[in-house]
Each structure stands twice: as structure tokens, then as C-alpha cells.
Structure 1
Amino acid sequence: MKFWFTFGIWVTVAVAFAQSSVKFQIRNMGSTVEGSFDRFTLNIRWNASNPTASTVTGKVQVESINTGISLRDNHLRSSSYFHVKKYPEISFKSTRIEKSSTEALYFIIGQLSIKGITKEHAFTMRMLPDGRREFKTTLNRRDFGVGGWSLTMGDEVQVTVTE
């Protein structure tokens, strides 16, 4: 468990504990496949008085992919999909944060890197009633070279990160 605060205006949080998660969903063969990454870090430096001056960074260890089916997980680790031997991490670093018109919703925009491809990408972040944060996004796996064209598997992946 990692958790620390810097008192004053800034609150710094490093997250790596049991209630945190990185989960994803994708359509495959007409049903939804769910999975997660079991090893990741999420660092949030939140400025409560000026949230747009905050920063969010994260790294996922791709080897830790878990869909509940080891044969599928090993296939996803292969060069056909994530190629974990060459690209062991997925990373994100915010470049700006925008407040939405909804009270507890923010847009976290930054650089998302998957398989050596870096693109600007946005997550929505909402404050949960219990004080944690939830980040959500939808991305096209093919934009990052994860798998090729497929008749049975969807291109869009829904990702939810909870701290």
C-alpha cells in the first residue's frame, strides 16, 4: 500500500492498493469480454483549489493482463497484440485538465502510449461519493497497433481506472 499526502493546497496521492483497479471491456464473438491489469501505478497530484493545475500519471504492467482465461491472456501478451517482451508498459501523462459543467467531472487530457505509439487521449474523471476517483475512456485498439482487423472482435475498448 502506497499513500501519501502533501498538506496545504496540493494533495499528492500515489495509489497501489487493493480497492484500486484497471479494468477493460471489449466485444468479442457477440459478447462482452471483461479483463483487468493487476499491476499498475497511478500518481495523482491534485490541487484542490485549482484542479486544472493538477497532474495525473499512470503506468500499467501489460504482463499482468487478466481475462480469466490463461490461453487468451498469453495470446494477448504475444506480438500479435501487446507484444509485452518489447513493450512491457502502457503509460499515461496528463498535459492539461479541464473542468466540465458537471460539478464532480473533469477531463484529463494527456499522452497515452501503447506499443510504442503515443497519442493525445482524454479520460473523464469523476469524484466518487466515497472520495475515490474514477477515470473512464473509450479507445480504438487498432490506433495503437493492438491486434489487427477482426470480424469477431470489436475495435473499441472501454477502460475504467478506479483509485
Structure 2
Amino acid sequence: MTNTKWVVDASHSSIDFSVKHMMVAKTKGVFNKFDASIEADPADLTSANIEFTIDTASIDTRNNDRDTHLRSADFFDVENKPSITFKSTKIVKTSDDEYDVTGDVTIKGVTRSETFAVTFEGQGKNPWGQEVAGFSGKGTINRSDYDLTYNAALETGGVLIGDKITISLEIEASKEA
């Protein structure tokens, strides 16, 4: 089968993240606005072309003060660097429905290669007869690699914000008509 274009259904998709806070708990958040360009054969993603663009101003951690700080130059600097991008460079099948998707991630003007574990969740027709496919993905990046270095030392030792960011994706896409 050949690659076809797929359109992400944002109302049935999400990009979530979590980070250690105060060395003992995790703080979670989402990016509410993102877009993707996907050309793929869902039955075999090894030849897929996948690109994501995330609107950094759409960050939402359910705390307005924290979100405002995350949008500032201390973190994402949304005025000067309004998006995070991902462009796949290599996709390796690791089992029947699982893949390692490697690509260039750009945050705050810094580009690094990262790999995400992606699972093809299935394919079918929605009630309107449109072909849909589902994918989930997970990976970890180090925020300091992308000049996201703001932090504070704790009196008890350690730091306020962990370096490792866990990213989780749930994507539902429909075949472009």
C-alpha cells in the first residue's frame, strides 16, 4: 500500500507532558493547539512522513500564573519562538503495531534528534464513512537540551523542576478526501 495523506482530528487528539516538581511529584499539562502533516500507510509506518507544529502559547497546566511564566522568556519565549516542531527522519518497526519514530525536534531555535515509541492503535470507518486511524506515542526529552534551563534550588537539596519531560500523544486522523 502507498502513503496517503491523513488529517489530525484535534477534538479527538492530545499532546500531553509531565515533569517532576520539587523532586517528589509530577506536574502535567497539555498543548491545546497543534497541527500535523501525516503521509502514511497505517499498516506500515516505516515509509511515513510525519510533521507536527505545536503552538507554545497554547500551553495549559490548569494554573494561569504558571502558564504565563511558561510562556515567558524563562521558558518557551512564545513572543520570539511561537512553536515547537517535529519532523520525522527515520521510522523503525519494532513489533506488529509498534515503531520507533525518530525525528528532529525544534524548541526555542534548538534542533535535536529524538525518538518516540509509537503504537498504531487501529483503523476503521467513522459513522460518516470516513476512514480513520489512531496512534499513540510516548517519549522523553531533556528540557535543558533546548535552552529550557530556568530552575530554583530547594533548601532540602535538589531542584524545583526536573530536567526530563515525558511527552504523550494520542492522535486520531482521518484519510484526506
Residues 55 and 96, structure 1, Cα contact 8 Å, conserved in 2: no
Residue of structure 2 aligned with 1:120, choices 104, 113, 125: 113
- Alpha-carbon spacing, 1:17–1:50, altered in 2? closer, same or farther (3 Å): closer
Residue of structure 2 aligned with 1:51, choices 6, 28, 45: 45
Structure 2: any 5+ residue segments left out of the alignment? 124-132, 153-158, 172-177
Deviates more, 1:12-21 or 1:107-116: 12-21
Tell me which residue corresponds to 1:147.
149
Structure with larger RCO (C-alpha < 8 A, sep 6+): 2
Q: Deviations over 1:133-157 (max 9, x none)?
A: 0121100011001133441211000
AA paired with 2:166? Q
Q: Deviations over 1:15-71 (max 9, x none)?
A: 142110010001112211010000001222113565321111100000000000000
Give 1:8-19 correspondences, 5 Å limit.
Answer: 9-19=2-12
Q: Deviations over 1:101-148 (max 9, x none)?
A: x21110111110000000111111102257410121100011001133
Higher-Rg structure is 2
- Aligned-pair distance for 1:83? 0.5
How many Å separate the matches in 1 of 2:69 and 2:45? 40
Tell me which residue corresponds to 2:56.
62
Count, aligned residues = 155
RMSD over aligned Cα, in angstroms?
Answer: 1.6
How many Å separate the matches in 1 of 2:31 and 2:44? 31
Deviates more, 1:64-73 or 1:143-152: 143-152
Residues 151 and 160, structure 2, Cα contact 8 Å, conserved in 1: no
- Alpha-carbon spacing, 1:49–1:39, altered in 2? closer, same or farther (3 Å): closer
Higher strand share: 2
Structure 1: any 5+ residue segments left out of the alignment? 1-7
How many Å separate the matches in 2 of 1:33 and 1:111? 25
* Structure 1 ranges of 4+ moved more than 4 A: none
How many Å separate the matches in 2 of 1:17 and 1:50? 23
How many Å separate the matches in 2 of 1:64 and 1:137? 20
How many Å separate the matches in 1 of 2:161 and 2:167? 16
Give the TM-score of the pair, scaled to structure 2.
Answer: 0.82
Residue identity (%): 28
Residues 9 and 48, structure 1, Cα contact 8 Å, conserved in 2: no
Secondary structure at the aligned position of 2:62 is classed as coil
Give the TM-score of the pair, scaled to structure 1.
Answer: 0.89
AA paired with 1:10? N
Residue of structure 2 aligned with 1:157, choices 158, 161, 165: 165
